[in-house]
Structure 1
Amino acid sequence: MNVKHKVVSIDDNKLNLMLIESMLVNMDVEIVSFISPTKAYEYCLENDTDLILVDYMMPDLDGISFIKKIRTTDKEVPIIMITAIDDDDSIKTKALEAGATEFLNKPLKLYEFQVRVKNILALRRHQVLLKDRAAHLQNEVEKATNQIVDREIETLSILGKASEYKDTETGAHINRVALYAKIIGSELIDDEDMINTLYRSAPLHDIGKIGIPDNILLKPAALTSEEFDVIKTHTCIGYRMLSDAKSKYLQAGAIIANSHHEKWDGSGYPNSLKGDKIPLFGRIVAVCDVFDALISVRPYKKAWSLKDASEYITSQSGTMFDPNIVKIFENKLDEINNIYLKNQDE
């Protein structure tokens, strides 16, 4: 289907408009003529246009002023300025500086006029095609990028579940910790991408348990001090597994794995970090992980009540946990409890 180019013609003289219309009649264009440049401007704001023909000398808005006005909203549409003043180079210069594409003198010569219009419309057609092609390519890039992100998220999910098969922790626990972390993180972080990174990376907090021997990791009784020292190495193992990755999610996961057992007072492990020297993601996940572990059944313990677990978190403010994060935890406790109730272990 052949789509006609739309041409807008502006001149305060109706005879000149009729002349231009007659010169374009055989060029397969749709022409819309205006005596008023103000009405023409309003039309151009609301309609796609392929070419504007504008006279220079007009009473309420001269051609150069019209071009300047159009260029504030449309930087691309071709504009031909037409004037009867053929010996004033300053007008031509001002018109071109204002954004005119071409400049023609009256009286218009039929052949020259038609060739100029034909060439400009051809360029316009290619311009639109290139723009459409660029938009299509951008769309394809976005689709490909989304597919890569989806695969990366799928990989994160698989990695997060990997420790589940080595440990007594369940997939529901891993999912809940991530959801708790997102709620708390949203109160501390303005950047949506950073919040999403926290949410996607939190499930990797115990990935290092893959490297802990089963006889220690799955022991249904109290651990000896030597066995607990082995358990503590899961933080460093997790960090080594993830830290060299290029993925922002895996890099964040490495930081969380290495810091979620640090304590606010510096008595944690593996590096005895204190206060805000502990990475923010690690401080957030520490609260979430301990709370969910307390309210979950384990072979070596019964589940705590939500009330007892939340009171324990509060009691450890400033000792085990960042006081600011504990305060947010308390304020968001209803939401956190709802997450627990909606995401039970199978």
Structure 2
Amino acid sequence: MNIAIIEDTPVNLMLMQSLVSRLDSGLVCQIFSDPLLGLSWVIEHKPDLIIVDYMMPGLDGLEFIRRCRNDPGLQDQPILMVTAAAEKEVRYAALDAGATDFLTKPIDRNEFNPRVRNMLRLRASMAATALRAEELASIVEEALREVHLRERETVLRLARAAEFRDPETGSHISRMAHYAALIARQLGMSEQAINTLLLAAPMHDVGKLGTPDHILLKPGRLDENELEIMRQHALIGYEILKNSASPVLQMAAEIALNHHEKFDGTGYPHGKSGESIPIVGRIVAVADVFDALTSVRPYKAAWTLEAARDYLLEGRSSHFDPRCVDLFLECWEEILQIRSLYND
């Protein structure tokens, strides 16, 4: 363990150094007669114990302690202040500044040794507690990582269950999720929210698990009755995903319910409009429609990228949130990269 002694009187400095050397051969002692040099060394090296005199030229012990405590790495280190026995007011001020304990002048070995030992035990105990806290934090972090991995696997399997019944491909849900993340990042959402969105967006159509095959897989246009049944997938998806303790499934439920709402209020299932549609619903609406248009389906050929871009622009403020459209199309190079990376 390292001890720093800051004392401008050479006799006291050498005496305390000698007493420390006799305490334990494993102790390393640094001595400074100049308080400014001592402060610089202490801030850089963060010793386990600091012993500082009160009366010193240029920088007294009180200010020395204050500057130590202002350093984040020195807020817990034990500090012993050396004062005269009668200097009660100084002691009070030292305690207020952050001193841990005191040594009185003249230096007495019978006082010095136990106080230094006690402070070093305190420091060792604090270091052990901090180490244990780090170990526990690491264990908790690993446990949470495993939980998140299991949650991610469950979420992706649920999304794939819907995919097996839907003519859409796994690449579609990957592309649209990354398109959605692209918009979210442009909107300034936090990385945590973006990562949650990446996991939640693929479940936007999980409600199609409840859609009959003859409607879901019909190669031609749906009639009005069939459309009404198809539109139920938004509510079915919400019912499947709602009331979960998982933030991912909570967001997924919100997306499933709202990604077919339109900005002008003509969407479904509830005819919400404008900002009454949750932002994740507005984001996924743009991402999902763009990828659906540019992908092959049993009932249509894939649109060109330019035609799909024009469709988004035509739907600004009617079908889509105009800000989401604009931010998405500003990232055209990233869109092309996502399409290339997650190609069918």
Instruction: Please give the TM-score of this superposition, normalised by the length of structure 1.
Output: 0.94
Q: Deviation digits for residues 15-57 of structure 1, max 9, x if unmatched?
A: 1111112222221121111111111101101113111111222
Alpha-carbon distance in structure 2 between the residues aligned to 1:321 and 1:197: 22
SS in 2 for 1:26: helix
Amino acid at match of 1:195: I
2:12 corresponds to which residue?
16
- Say whether residues 1:81 and 2:77 are aligned partners: no
> What SS class does the counterpart of residue 22 from structure 2 fall into?
coil
| Residues 189 and 195, structure 1, Cα contact 8 Å, conserved in 2 | no
Q: Which moved more, 1:161-170 or 1:272-281?
A: 272-281
Report the Cα distance in structure 2 between the residues aligned to 1:93 and 1:328, rounded to whole angstroms. Answer: 60
After TM superposition, list the pairs within 5 Å mapping 1:53-202 onto structure 2: 53-73=51-71, 74-83=74-83, 85-202=84-201
TM-score normalised over the length of structure 2: 0.94
Q: Mark the runs of 5 or more structure 1 residues left unpaired by the alignment.
A: none
Q: Secondary structure at the match of 1:310?
A: helix
Q: For residues 273 and 96 of structure 2, what CA distance do their matches in structure 1 show?
A: 62
Corresponding residue for 2:330? 331
Aligned equivalent of 1:301: 300
Does the Cα contact within 8 Å between 1:306 and 1:337 map onto a contact in 2? no
* One-letter identity of the residue aligned with 2:150: R
Question: Matched residue of 1:49: which SS?
Answer: coil
- For residues 173 and 64 of structure 1, do their structure 2 counterparts lie closer, same or farther at Cα, with a shift above 3 Å needed? same
2:248 paired with 1:252: no
Deviations 1:291-336 (A, max 9, x none): 1111111122211111222222222222222222222233223322
User: What's the counterpart of residue 49 of structure 1?
Assistant: 47
- What SS class does the counterpart of residue 50 from structure 2 fall into? strand
Relative to structure 1, is the Cα distance of residues 327 and 27 closer, same or farther in structure 2, using a 3 angstrom cutoff?
same
Cα separation, 2, equivalents of 1:78 and 1:21: 17
- Aligned amino acid, residue 199 of structure 1: L
Alignment RMSD: 1.5
Alignment of 1:211-250 (within 5 A): 211-250=210-249
Q: 1:70 to 1:170 in 2, by over 3 A?
A: same
Whichever residue aligns with residue 28 of structure 2, its letter is E
Q: How far 1:341 sits from its partner (Å)?
A: 2.9
Asked if the contact 2:12/2:107 (under 8 Å) is kept, the reply is: no
In structure 2, the CA distance between the partners of 1:25 and 1:284, relative to structure 1 (3 Å rule), is closer
For residue 283 of structure 1, give the secondary structure of its aligned residue in structure 2.
Answer: helix
Change (3 A) 1:248 1:95: same
| Match of residue 269 from structure 1 | 268
Task: Tell whether the 8 Å contact from 2:53 to 2:82 is kept in structure 1 after alignment.
Answer: yes
Unmatched 5+ stretches in structure 2 = none
* 1:128 counterpart letter in structure 2: A
| Residues 264 and 319, structure 2, Cα contact 8 Å, conserved in 1 | yes
Aligned-pair distance for 1:337?
3.0
Aligned mates of 2:57, 2:181 — CA distance in 1? 62
Change (3 A) 1:147 1:17: same
Q: Deviations over 1:84-123 (max 9, x none)?
A: x322321221222222111122222212211111122111
Q: Deviations over 1:48-78 (max 9, x none)?
A: 3111111222122122221122111112111
Work out the percentage of aligned pairs sharing the same amino acid.
Answer: 44
Letter in 1 for 2:40: E
Judging changes above 3 Å, is the alpha-carbon distance between structure 1 residues 313 and 8 closer, same or farther for their aligned structure 2 residues? same
Contact 2:103 / 2:111 at 8 angstroms: preserved in 1? no
Distance 2:132 2:158 in 1: 39
Structure 2 match to 1:209? 208
Query: 1:67 and 1:275 mapped to 2: Cα distance?
Result: 58
AA of the residue aligned to 2:49: L
Q: Counterparts of 1:278 and 1:20 in 2: how far apart (Å)?
A: 72
CA distance in structure 1 between the partners assigned to 2:91 and 2:28 by the alignment? 27
**1:8–1:53 Cα contact (<8 Å) kept:** yes
Q: Give the AA of the match of 1:81.
A: M
For the residue of structure 2 that corresponds to 1:108, the secondary structure is coil
